[in-house]
Structure 1
Amino acid sequence: MASSSSSWIKWFRENYAAPLESVQQLLRAIYVVIAFCLALFIGALKAVLVGPIAGLLLIIGNIGVILGLFPAHVVWTVYSLIKTKSINAALKLAFLLALPVFFVLWLALSIFGSVLVGVGYGFFTPWVSTFEAFRKDSDKEKFLHSIKDGTWGTIRGSCTVVRDFADICYHSYPLYLKELRESTGDQLHHSIRFAEVPACIVVGLMGLIVDIPLYTAIAVIKSPYMLFKGWQRLLHDLISREGPFLETACIPVAGLAILLWPLVVVGSILLAILSSIFIGLYGAVVVYQERSFKRGVAYVIATVAEFDEYTNDWLYLREGTILPKPRYRKKKASNSSELSVGANSVRRKGSSGSSEAPAMFVPSLAPSRSVREAIQEVKMVQIWEELMMSSEMRGMELVNANILTSSNLSEWLRTKGSSQEIVGLGLSSYALLHSLVFSINSGSAGFLLSNGVELTNLNRPQDRLLDWFFHPVMVLKEQIRVIKLSEDELRFLEKLALFTGNIPSIATLENGCLGPQDALRAAQIQAISRRLVGMTRSISKFPTYRRRYRQVVKVLLSYSLGREGNSGMCTSRSNRSGSSIEIVPADV
């Protein structure tokens, strides 16, 4: 009886299992198509209702910041160029003559970029949020989030963008100018002869006249190739279920990418035109570096050929270029035939390094990674949250130790923070030091987050801002590990980091250490503290940092006021009862 039932089951599987699987796949495909159409309709409706409000808030806010601070930017920039000692008088004259061009470019590009970002953010964020909602588990959550996500959040996000942009213009840019004014000739000195100033101006203008139209022509001519190559790559992933189409929940989002790919192509053309402006102006820098007008002209011609060759490589077209590519450097930086283009470097075909050019944004058309592989990356928001959480935790410890007071915190919030470096800079340096020491003590090869996630070169976010942060921090971590600080030396380094190297002030922090007796050891620790504070100062200029850090300071101020209030209550009670009450700091 058992053998007959098993044979019947085997016969059923052989004859009906495959058709049933085909039916299930068909039903799943129909479900995906219906979900995609529904998300497209709901996203379009939300974009029409929310997009104008969010876009106008972002455009009006950013343009208001640009125009409102423009007179101050002009004054700050001119004053900083005149006061700095890192460049000579002739180079100051060259910069002052070029400033009107840069100011006009700043107004034109920033206003145009604000309009473009406002329209794109306001109309496409609700769409993307709607498609993202279909990644939820249950159908009820998918429907509710598809209606709710991307509405009020988009409006709040536009206000956040304006706030971060205002912080960059009002806080970060003056900090850069302050560093320029305070830099001395011993740290960085650039000079140029007065006779070379006209050559720099002529080559800069020639770069604008030649590079802008040629870059635009190359980008427009090759845009159809980019359009169809991109569609071919995405459709191949769709058919073979690779890359973003590997997970069923991500298929609607990937389908939206197919529809919006023409906008990516248009954005690449606009970015190529924008990049050509700065690449053309960089010809003046080449004249200054090479001390040669001819090499500056050669740079203007060679960059067009480099751009053509670069786009050919990315779009899998014919290798090389038919355009002339004269040599404009006297010496090559290495044996890899490296050519300098703009502020970055582009390696020729066949070199050991990777090709990268600032000229045009061309999305990778190679087979994309699966969603599961992408999820393994640590997100940039996790790193920001880790830094803020560490600052908040260490700040509470300092409040409990009476190192930070409510008056310090409130004064920093009221002013630009320059008068309270222990709050604006020292606390962040102190927290970063503890994070590095935590990673070292844990035996981590990278940067260990408090939640146990290890940040390494393999899983770090592919973010340009993080490129400026990750490698120097890893070098500093290795330097701290190699010198093997004792407990007293670590306490001394904490003092230096918290008080930003201000030796007279560190006596107020009684943590059981007066500093190492060995002068060489003390100099090593002070050098590490200077690097640590310098990195923190650079991080503080990043977008979104100031907004997030102000929230941390507000939390610490509330905590300090609450602690002082509890202390006052305990003191008054002790006076009435005639006995003293000892208040033990909270264990954070």
Structure 2
Amino acid sequence: MEVPIGFVAKLWSFIYFIPFFLLLLILGIIKATLIGPFAVAIIVIGNSAVIIGLWSAHVVWTYYCVLRTKRFGPVLKIVVLISLPLPLLLWPVVGIGGSLLGGIGYGFFSPLLATFEAAGEDVADKFYPCFIDGYWSTIQRSCTVVEDLADFCFHSYFSFMDELREDLPPDEKPLDVKLSLLPSCMLVVLVAVPFDMALITSIAIWKSPYMLLRGWKRLLEDLIGREGPFLETVCVPFAGIAIILWPLAVVGAVLAASISSFFLGLYSGIIVQQEDSIQMGFAYIISVVSLFDEYVNDLLYLREGSCLPRPKYHRNMRHTLQKKDLRGNNTNDSMNRREGSRNPKLFSHQSRTLKWKIHQYRPIQVWDWLFKSCEVHGKILLREGLISAKDIEEYVVKGHCKKLEIKLPAWSLLHCLQTSAKSNSDGLVICDSDDAELTRINGPRDRVFEWFIGPLLIMKEQLKKLNLEETEETSLKELVMKRKSEKPEDWNGTGFPSDDNIRKAQLQAIIRRLQGIVASLSRIPTFRRRFKNLVKVLYIEALQVTASDGHVGGIVIPRNSDEISVKSKEKSDVVEPISNEELGRYNEGNRV
């Protein structure tokens, strides 16, 4: 949609837009009223059953893992054991209460959002979908929410606790609390909590009128000019509701600041333990207020910095030191340039609209790329014998298989890094068909994906410096899938071309880091749900591979194989098996 230019064009766009928006809003509210109660019932009942059903197992396993862990010292272990009953008792209350609020919000906004999506510019027939879309999809996604929570409670939580029981590395010491510092910690906390809560809450209340007026001004300007969130039809209901409910958002921000100040005050006790100094604890009490004031100023585009004092509360603070990035640039200067590029004072009013025209990858698109890559490479590895039907059977029967869950995604990421390093790309080459690249600029504005993409970009630069030979790249595939990568000696006798142990150690460090990233991602419920669908596709591919070899007896078919086959074929995003021509093109060096 083109942005109207000129007063008359903007006025006509505003007059034309208001009745269109109101009709869609009323229709969306009616649909939300009809389908919302069913979505709330599914989410609340399903999540409550999962939380209550597994609560006793969570209690027993949590205490067992804390007792067996070697990561905590004796004093800290006692403190944790004494403190555990409170969060364990609050978990069902918070979980069920959050499910109720989340179900109400989702049951209302999902049909409303679907109504505006049906009226989007890319939809040819707008009338019928406006009335139909949003009913069945809301029910399906409500069931998905319950499934994701079940995966988290049954798999992810126990995975976290099992990691707590792992042995410490030889060079790492267990965390513990120094008994001699406990009186100092209590003293600092008793001073910090009321002091920080009073000052931070006062700052939030003092600057809340600025937040109210600036927010209204920004939203009204975008409404009249059809810019910013009002540029896309699907975002209009939320932007319109934001204007009405903006005072509540300001009140919520003040309450959030007041609540967070309590925990910021408690953190002063940890500073005393870390620095072994009561003086550093008191310095933190003052410094955190200054940090909060500066954060609010940046958020509201007020004056830079803060007039409040900011004493050092870490002996090894490095925020004043200038560091250099991989290309030798000063990180403080580059950071200032990035921050300056985000400052709206340096750009025209139309720049907010231009941001919406830049192709910004969403988290779901990154997930799609990752699992699509795993699917393509999984089929190739199946045909090459690096993944067997036994591995697929192990995942189907036991619910986990390290070669599939960890090594397959790790190899897909490593292949992407090699491709990106060869192409001298500033980001990650994620699709060859349209030269799509994932960079820090167009990447998702999501903390999880920023944490995920940042290390990958660093490892890509490391691979670029290693300048791998073709024979090394070929052997890496088998090493990742079949060998350990703990020490250089693990690759002895594997046919790896290089005998340089330093080179081996560098590659092994990258592989271990990739496997660690994948292990963390595998605990996200969305990952597990989508990986199940991927395994179904690989299972069908394994059947086809064995059938093409003239026998099917090499695969032990699980009881639910028919169900797997039917469901996998019903998936719209299932890709047909890779043909011999496609496999040949891949082996010739084409990027995936």
Structure 1-normalised TM-score? 0.78
CA distance in 2 between partners of 1:154 and 1:266 (Å) = 30
Q: Please report how far the alpha carbon of residue 548 of structure 1 lies from its aligned counterpart in structure 2 after TM superposition.
A: 1.1
What is the Cα deviation at residue 465 of structure 1? 0.5
What CA distance in whole angstroms lies between the structure 2 residues aligned with 1:477 and 1:274? 41
Residue 484 of structure 1, aligned match among 456, 459, 467? 467
Alignment correspondent of 1:315: 300
Partner residue of 1:427 out of 391, 408, 414: 408
Q: Match of 2:530?
A: 548
Letter in 2 for 1:226: M
Equivalent position amino acid for 1:122 in 2: G
Q: Which of 385, 388, 396 is matched with 1:402 structurally? A: 385
Partner of 1:181: 165
Is 1:291 matched with 2:273? no
Among residues 43, 53, 69, which one is paired with 2:38 in the alignment?
A: 53
In 1, Cα distance between the equivalents of 2:36 and 2:505?
A: 57
C-alpha displacement at 1:439, in angstroms?
1.8
Shift in CA distance, 131/195, structure 1 to aligned 2, threshold 3 Å: same
Output aligned runs, 1:3-152, within 5 Å: 28-104=13-89, 106-137=91-122, 141-152=125-136
C-alpha distance 173-277 of structure 1, shift in aligned 2 (>3 A): farther
Distance (Å, rounded) in 2 between the aligned partners of 1:105 and 1:269: 24
Instruction: Return the letter of the residue paired with 2:292.
Output: F
Give the match's secondary structure for 1:544.
helix
Query: Structure 2: how far apart are the matches of 1:158 and 1:523?
Result: 46
Q: Please tell me whether residue 532 in structure 1 is matched to residue 517 in structure 2.
A: no
Asked if residue 373 in structure 1 is aligned to residue 356 in structure 2, the reply is yes
Counting aligned pairs with the same residue, the percent is: 41
Name which of structure 1's ranges 49-58 and 559-568 shifts more when overlaid on structure 2.
Answer: 559-568
Deviations for 1:67-91, whole angstroms, at most 9, x for unmatched residues? 3333333333333333333332222
Distance, in Å, in 2 between the alignment partners of 1:586 and 1:447 is 26
Aligned residue number for residue 412 of structure 1:
395
What is the DSSP-based 3-state SS (H/G/I as helix, E as strand, rest coil) of the residue aligned with 1:454? Answer: strand
Deviation at 1:336, TM superposition (A): 7.4
Query: After alignment, is 313-322 or 425-434 more displaced?
Result: 313-322
Deviation at 1:260, TM superposition (A): 4.3
2:429 is the alignment partner of 1:470: no
Q: Which moved more, 1:366-375 or 1:227-236?
A: 366-375
d(CA) in 2 for partners of 1:107, 1:398: 43
Is the alpha carbon distance of 1:205 and 1:567 closer, same or farther for their aligned partners in structure 2, counting shifts above 3 Å? farther
Structure 1 residues 36 and 354, CA, compared in 2 at 3 Å: closer, same or farther?
A: same
- Structure 1 unpaired stretches of 5+: 1-20, 338-350, 356-363, 572-583
Question: What SS does the corresponding residue of 1:449 show, helix, strand or coil?
Answer: strand
Counterparts in 2 of 1:378 and 1:309: CA distance versus 1, 3 Å: closer
CA contact (8 A) 2:10 2:224 kept: no
- Alpha-carbon distance, 1:316 to partner: 5.2
- Distance between the aligned counterparts of 1:88 and 1:185, measured in 2? 15
Question: Alpha-carbon deviations, 1:27-63, whole Å to 9, x = none?
Answer: 6544312211111101111111122221232233333
Alignment of 1:151-170 (within 5 A): 151-170=135-154
TM-superposition CA deviations, 1:120-168 (whole Å, max 9, x none)? 2221222233223332346x63323322332221222222222223323
1:489 deviates by 1.8
Which position in structure 1 is the counterpart of 2:589? none
Cα pair 2:14 2:223 within 8 Å, conserved: no
Q: Give the CA deviation at 1:544.
A: 1.1
Q: Structure 1 CA distance, aligned partners of 2:64 and 2:257?
A: 33
Q: Alpha carbons of 1:293 and 1:497: their partners in 2 closer, same or farther (altered >3 Å)? A: same
Q: Secondary structure at the match of 1:376?
A: coil
- Against the structure 1 CA distance between its residues 30 and 312, is the aligned structure 2 distance closer, same or farther, given a 3 Å change threshold? closer
CA distance in 2, matches of 1:542, 1:168: 7
Q: Which SS does the other structure have where 1:369 is aligned?
A: helix
- 2:426 aligns with one of 435, 445, 448: 445
Counterpart of 2:424, as a letter, is G
Give the letter for the 1:181 counterpart: R
- 1:538-577 to 2 correspondence within 5 Å? 538-568=520-550
> In the alignment, what sits opposite 1:255?
240
Distance 1:154 1:301 in 2: 48
Q: Secondary structure at the match of 1:444?
A: coil
Shift of 1:319: 7.6
The alpha-carbon distance between structure 1 residues 442 and 86, as it changes in their structure 2 partners (threshold 3 A), is same
Distance in 1 between residues matched to 2:297 and 2:413, nearest whole Å: 44
Residue by residue over 1:392-440, the C-alpha shift from the partner in whole angstroms, topping out at 9 and shown as x without a partner, is 11111122123323332132133241xx311111111111111222222
- Paired positions, count: 531
Give the equivalent residue in structure 2 for 1:578: none
The answer as to whether partners of 1:32 and 1:251 remain within 8 angstroms in 2 is: no
Indicate if the aligned counterparts of 1:496 and 1:503 stay in contact, CA closer than 8 A: no
Q: What is the DSSP-based 3-state SS (H/G/I as helix, E as strand, rest coil) of the residue aligned with 2:165?
A: helix
* Alignment-derived partner of residue 561 in structure 2: none
Which one has the largest radius of gyration?
A: 1
Deviation at 1:526, TM superposition (A): 2.2
Output the amino acid matched with 1:51.
G
Structure 2 vs 1, CA of residues 213 and 307 (structure 1 numbering), >3 Å: closer, same or farther? same
Q: TM-score, normalised by structure 2?
A: 0.77
Contact 1:135 1:250 in 2 (8 A): no
Shift of 1:555: 0.8
After TM superposition, the structure 1 stretch with the greater mean CA deviation from structure 2, 395-404 or 251-260, is 251-260
State whether residues 386 and 481 of structure 2, in contact with CA within 8 Å, keep that contact through their aligned partners in structure 1.
no
* 1:378-397 equivalences in 2 (<5 Å): 378-397=361-380
Whether 2:503 is the aligned partner of 1:518: answer no
**CA–CA distance in structure 1, aligned partners of residues 361 and 203 of structure 2:** 37
Q: In structure 2, what is the Cα distance between the partners aligned to 1:325 and 1:278?
A: 19
In structure 2, distance between residues paired with 1:323 and 1:22: 44
Q: Which range moves more in the overlay, 168-177 or 290-299?
A: 290-299
Q: Compared with structure 1, are the counterparts of its residues 195 and 97 closer, same or farther at alpha carbon in structure 2 (3 Å cutoff)?
A: farther
The alignment partner of 2:134 has SS state of: coil
353 and 456 in structure 1: CA distance in 2 versus 1, 3 angstrom threshold = closer
Alpha-carbon offset, residue 183 of structure 1:
4.1
Give the secondary-structure state (helix, strand or coil) at the position aligned to 1:556: helix
My pick for the range that moved more, 175-184 or 200-209, is 200-209
For 1:154 and 1:187, the matched residues in 2 are separated by 51
| Counterpart amino acid of residue 422 in structure 2 | N
Distance 1:282 1:166 in 2: 32
State how 1:327-346 maps to structure 2 within 5 Å.
Answer: 328-330=313-315, 332-335=317-320
CA separation in 2, counterparts of 1:47 and 1:477? 46
State the superposition RMSD in angstroms. 4.0
2:126 is paired with a residue of what secondary structure?
helix
Compared CA separation, residues 141 and 221, structure 1 to 2 (3 A) = farther
What is the Cα deviation at residue 448 of structure 1? 0.7
Q: Using a 3 Å threshold, how does the CA distance of structure 1 residues 353 and 73 change in structure 2: closer, same or farther? A: farther
8 A Cα contact 1:497 1:532, kept in partner: no
